[in-house]
């Protein structure tokens, strides 16, 4: 069997997925700074985000983007807390929630496939702590 060559990508070529998180984090910091200013705060001490496991966002990439984006803003040096929300679906047959294991929303009890995703798509600011 013929084997292909593995290409070694440079740091700047690999950031395709990270870019998504960078723009999301830029928006989160922008909103937090605006809210902090409106409340009369002078510094952001902590930003807490709520990220669902089905949001398509990589928390580590968000962390990486955070420090860079906060530089030269009132959020410089702020702590970032990420609250992970596990994917949870609802089975209308069993009338109960179940943890979603994959993209097939299958109820582990009755194997109904039409489970409805109730939690796990969250991508929101949970809290902004200012001083
Ligand atoms: Zn069920």
pLDDT tens, position by position, for the chain (131 residues)? 678 888 887 776 666 555 789 999 999 999 999 999 999 999 999 999 999 999 989 999 999 999 999 999 999 999 999 999 999 999 999 999 999 887 778 999 999 988 889 999 999 999 999 99
CATH of domain 11-130: 3.30.2320.80
> What is the per-residue pLDDT for 121?
92
Centroid of ligand 1 to alpha carbon of 96 (angstroms): 7
Say how many Å lie between the CA of residue 67 and the centre of ligand 1: 43
State the distance between the two ends of the chain, measured CA to CA, in whole angstroms.
Answer: 63
pTM over 0.75: yes
Token pair listed for 5: 């060559």
- The pLDDT assigned to 29 comes to 96
C-alpha–C-alpha distance, residues 79 and 1, integer Å: 51
- Residue 117 CA to ligand 1 center (angstroms) comes to 13
């Amino acid at each position: 069997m013929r084997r292909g060559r593995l290409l070694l990508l440079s740091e700047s070529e690999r950031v395709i997925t990270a870019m998504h998180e960078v723009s999301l984090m830029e928006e989160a910091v922008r909103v937090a700074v605006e809210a902090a200013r409106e409340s009369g705060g002078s510094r952001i001490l902590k930003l807490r985000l709520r990220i669902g496991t089905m949001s398509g966002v990589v928390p580590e990439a968000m962390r990486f983007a955070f420090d860079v984006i906060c530089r030269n803003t009132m959020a410089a040096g702020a702590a970032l807390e990420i609250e992970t929300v596990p994917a949870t679906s609802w089975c209308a047959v069993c009338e109960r929630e179940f943890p979603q294991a994959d993209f097939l929303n299958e109820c582990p009890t009755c194997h109904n496939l039409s489970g409805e995703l109730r939690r796990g798509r969250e991508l929101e600011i949970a809290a902004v702590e200012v001083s």
